[in-house]
A and B are shown apart, each in its own frame.
Chain A
Amino acid sequence: MAVALQDWESPGSVDEEQMIAWLRDVGSLPPALTAAEIARLLDRTGSHRLRNAAALALAELKAAGAAERIGVLLRRADVAPQSGSLLFALDELGGTLSLEGLVNILRNGSFEARSEALHFLDADRVSMADPESRRVASAELTALAAGPDPDAAAAAQDALAMLPDRTGHSGPEQHQA
């Protein structure tokens, strides 16, 4: 069963529950949605439930380019609060998390997303970018570690403790001076 793209691009035209059911059943034959349709949905939807289901479906399909698409989403502040399953899908795909994405998740993400993001750092799967980007990210994490949000501060402190040998950062204690 093929689903016309406009069916889900028009708000309210396709029931969200039905779309999620199709995405969760993506391994069935014949599939209701193609990988290209799911990728387009991932890029465009404003629903975190649909976004999660689309990312998980692409991970199940091992779709080409899916890790890069998810990586783009993980840099968005509006996506970070509900990004735990995007990070899980990225993990399933064997992808890497950008440094920009890591900082975004630690600043704006949920408890779950921060845990998933720190896993990427723990597993040495954060792309370190250029020296200037690393310096900026280190400064942002240092500010976050001293900020008013205790959960974000604790996550940033954990991240800084894992970053020294990769950013030139010399440890959280020296940033308190």
Chain B
Amino acid sequence: MSKEPSGRFRGGSQTRRDRWFGLDQQPDFEAFRRWWHRVGKEESGGRDLESREQALAEYEAWIKSGRNRVRS
């Protein structure tokens, strides 16, 4: 297991990788996460993601929309 600059650990059990939406393995996961909390959630009604399927759908929509980024 290696620690990423963001503080997240890569690797670990399959269960844990799945819990992180299965998305934290993506190189742009941090950009998506930041966009989701600062922009995407409000645009989607303001509620938390309730499932892995919903998380994947939001991620794919973000990809299709051009990976909008929010400044750090």
Query: Interface residues, chain A, CB within 8 Å of chain B?
Result: 20, 24, 48-49, 52-53, 56, 81-85, 88-89, 109-115, 118-119, 122-123, 125, 154-155, 157-158, 161
A112 touches B48 (CB 8 A): yes
A67 to B9, alpha carbons, bound, how many Å? 23
Q: Besides the contacts A88-B33, A118-B16, what 15 more A-B pairs have beta carbons closer than 8 Å?
A: A48-B46, A49-B42, A56-B38, A82-B47, A82-B48, A84-B48, A85-B37, A85-B41, A85-B48, A111-B49, A111-B55, A112-B50, A112-B55, A123-B7, A157-B15
A52 touches B46 (CB 8 A): yes
How many B residues are at the interface, by size bracket?
20 to 34
Q: Which partner residue on chain A sits nearest B46 by CB separation?
A: A49
Known A-B contacts A81-B48, A82-B48; the reply to A115 vs B42 at CB < 8 A is no
B48 touches A118 (CB 8 A): no
Query: Interface residues, chain B, CB within 8 Å of chain A?
Result: 7-9, 12-13, 15-16, 19-21, 33, 37-38, 41-42, 46-52, 54-55
Q: Which residues of B contact A24 (CB under 8 A)?
A: 38, 42
Interface residues of A, dominant DSSP: helix
A81 to B49, alpha carbons, bound, how many Å? 10
Within the complex, which residue of A48, A49, A88, A115 is in contact with B19, where a contact is CB–CB below 8 Å? A115
A49 to B47, alpha carbons, bound, how many Å? 8
Q: Which residues of A contact B33 (CB under 8 A)?
A: 88
A20 touches B48 (CB 8 A): no
A90 to B16, alpha carbons, bound, how many Å? 21
Could you list 19 A-B pairs, sorted by A, with CB under 8 Å?
A24-B42, A48-B46, A49-B42, A53-B42, A56-B38, A82-B48, A85-B37, A109-B48, A110-B47, A110-B48, A111-B50, A111-B54, A111-B55, A112-B55, A119-B8, A119-B20, A123-B7, A125-B7, A155-B19
Q: Which residues of B contact A83 (CB under 8 A)?
A: 48
Within the complex, which residue of A53, A89, A113, A125 is in contact with B48, where a contact is CB–CB below 8 Å? A113
A158 touches B15 (CB 8 A): yes
Q: Which residues of A contact B9 (CB under 8 A)?
A: 122-123
